[in-house]
Chain A
Amino acid sequence: MSSVPSTPAFDLRAGEYPPGRRLQRSEIAWALAFLAPYLVVFAALVVYPVGYGLWLARDPGLYAELFADHRYLRTLVNTVLFVGIGVNLMMFAAVLLSGLFMRRDWWVRALLAVYLTCWAMPAVPAFSSFHWMLIGEEGLVNGLLRELLGVEGPIWFNNGWLALACNIAAYIWKWMPFWTVVFVAGRMAIPQEIYEAAAVDGATGPRRFLHVLFPLLANLYLVCTLLATLWTVGDFNTVYLVSIGAPARSSEVLATLGFHYAFDAAQPSLGIAATMSALPLLVPLTLVLMRRLQAGEVQL
């Protein structure tokens, strides 16, 4: 990256062999022995279930059936919105909020501890609380709206789009703290001299964010967004517990719809097909993520 001054100190690489060095046979044997436990886990609990799942969902007729089902199509739209809006909103807010947590005040540290409890809180308590908080006129949210603003809040779970918005809010509540701290760690890795050099050149405030910080954090931001996307597509707990798919299965996402096909409608193959239909999107994203994880090491 050209915007960053390159001094010998920045080129130091701990923990890397010179490129030409070859492994000896005994080293390979040792390495395989160390890797063996994980290879067993990977083969037995990743490769086999995925292969088995694809085999169960191999019939093209299943996909024709899916695309004929309006609930599946609505679920696809929901999933795209849940992931697209949820992840991008969350990551952008997280990168902004990470600036707040760079401050050294005592109250900021205390706030960070409270903020992180949202992430440490297990899904079932957190999301069932969200469910009761939003349960129409009786819930805390509408109660507060009535008391404080004199506004009559909507019945959140009576409308598919509102229910989807509630799910997104609950998901962001739980996961934004994690990504915020990842960005705080990323910001802390930037040497102070770069800020100082930027300040001398007049880059402060928003301009510093745009022209100094963001280019430096770009790869981290991309890696995090990719990882968050993968995790959000697979998120089951939020929709299952917050909106419970209400009203009439119109706020489901792929993970919960597949579950309902399999266990409520007793069509396991259709359930797997519904979820596996996301793989053409997920596999390329994962490959890009793996590539970028490596790229992070050689940049700058």
Chain B
Amino acid sequence: MSLASPRLLRPADAVWPLLERPGRLRRRLGTAAALAVGIVLLIWSLLPTYNMLLIALDAEGDTEYAGILWPAEPTLDSFRVVMAGDYWYLEHFWHKFANSLFIALATMVLTVVIGSLASFALGRLRLARGWLLGNFAVITYAVPASFLVIPFYRIMREYGLSDSLWGVIAADLTFAAPYAILILQQYAKFIPLELDEAAQIDGASPFVVYRHIYLPLMAPALVAVGTFALLFAWNEYLYQYMLLTSDRNMTVSVAIAQFFDADEAPWNYMMAAALVYAVPPVAIFLALRRWTAAGFSFGGVRV
């Protein structure tokens, strides 16, 4: 601006130098405080993983803390045992791993498909407008999953799904879907309805709108919801333990928790298996982290 000659000071310019010093000091204090909190948080976050590694690398598998930050003679032998399935709790480890993976992937696919269809009906076709019907899936959380395991156990026999991976998948889907529908409905609000209407005027059926407008535009939220469903299924233990009874259908999380049944088990094998089991979800989540942001924003701050 041509008016702003060096001599012409606005009132704010006169105040700035006075404010700057305390401001800079405050900023430095803020950074120092943030660093301190950050270091505490880092140790807090890493400690359990470090503990797993410490026990897994120990040759004896003692939980005993030797007063050192690293085992005296670290060995990768327990990882070899896990990979080879050399201990009877860990027999056929990769078969169990495949079972876990199958449950997680099937839960992911079904949650995305069924969740996106339901959210399209509820949010876009405006089947339900009131809070009670519009959010009816959330009522599922009134009776938590762990409370329903006994009825589920019996009902799965009626459905012919006892000792079947599909029984666990059904249970995981039941409790992953409401959150998925919630997230998808919130995310869909950012997509203008005019798009749907324009397509409808051109003669597109709701399915065409769903397939060619809704799904492509919802892609980020669908990735997020799918990742969350996968992590949910990978995290789940109770239903896998209750519903899968045969060795053939056992999963890794059940195999790991089995170690607690014995009084004197090789804990290094347990912790090595635990670390191996923890790698896929952590890796998948970190790889997809950029695309999972939509999964964290709900009930939003709509300003």
| Interface membership of chain B positions 113-132, coded 1 if the CB is closer than 8 angstroms to chain A and 0 otherwise | 11101101111111100011
When distances are taken between beta carbons in the complex, the residues of chain B under 8 Å from A121 are 48-49, 278, 281-282
Q: Main secondary structure on chain B at its contact with chain A?
A: helix
| CB nearest to B190 among chain A residues | A14
User: Which of the 9-residue segments B73-81, B89-97, B170-178 touches chain A?
Assistant: B170-178
**Nearest chain A CB to B218 CB, angstrom units:** 12
Instruction: Find out whether the CB atom of B301 lies under 8 angstroms from the CB atom of A220.
Output: yes
Tell me the residues in window 190-235 of chain A with beta carbons closer than 8 Å to chain B beta carbons. Answer: 190-191, 194, 205, 216-217, 219-220, 223-224, 227, 230-231, 233-235
Interface size on B, residues (CB 8 A): 111
Instruction: Find out whether the CB atom of A113 lies under 8 angstroms from the CB atom of B289.
Output: yes
Instruction: Find out whether the CB atom of B127 lies under 8 angstroms from the CB atom of A124.
Output: no
Instruction: Find out whether the CB atom of A17 lies under 8 angstroms from the CB atom of B126.
Output: yes
Q: Main secondary structure on chain A at its contact with chain B?
A: helix
**Nearest chain B CB to A202 CB, angstrom units:** 11
- B269 is an interface residue with CB less than 8 A from chain A: no
The residue that A290 contacts in the complex, of B113, B135, B303, with Cβ under 8 A, is B135
Chain A: number of interface residues, binned into ranges:
35 or more
Instruction: Find out whether the CB atom of B127 lies under 8 angstroms from the CB atom of A275.
Output: no
Whole-angstrom CA separation of A41 from B175 in the bound complex: 10
Instruction: Find out whether the CB atom of A223 lies under 8 angstroms from the CB atom of B298.
Output: yes
The residue that B303 contacts in the complex, of A23, A181, A283, A300, with Cβ under 8 A, is A300
- B253 is an interface residue with CB less than 8 A from chain A: yes
Residues of A within 8 A of B (CB): 4, 10, 14-17, 23, 27-28, 30-35, 37-38, 41-42, 44-46, 48-50, 52-53, 56, 97, 100, 103, 105, 107-108, 111, 113-118, 120-126, 128-130, 132-133, 135, 138-140, 142-144, 146-147, 173, 177-178, 181-182, 184-187, 189-191, 194, 205, 216-217, 219-220, 223-224, 227, 230-231, 233-237, 240-241, 244, 254-255, 258-259, 262, 268, 271-272, 275-276, 278-279, 282-283, 285-286, 289-294, 296-297, 299-300
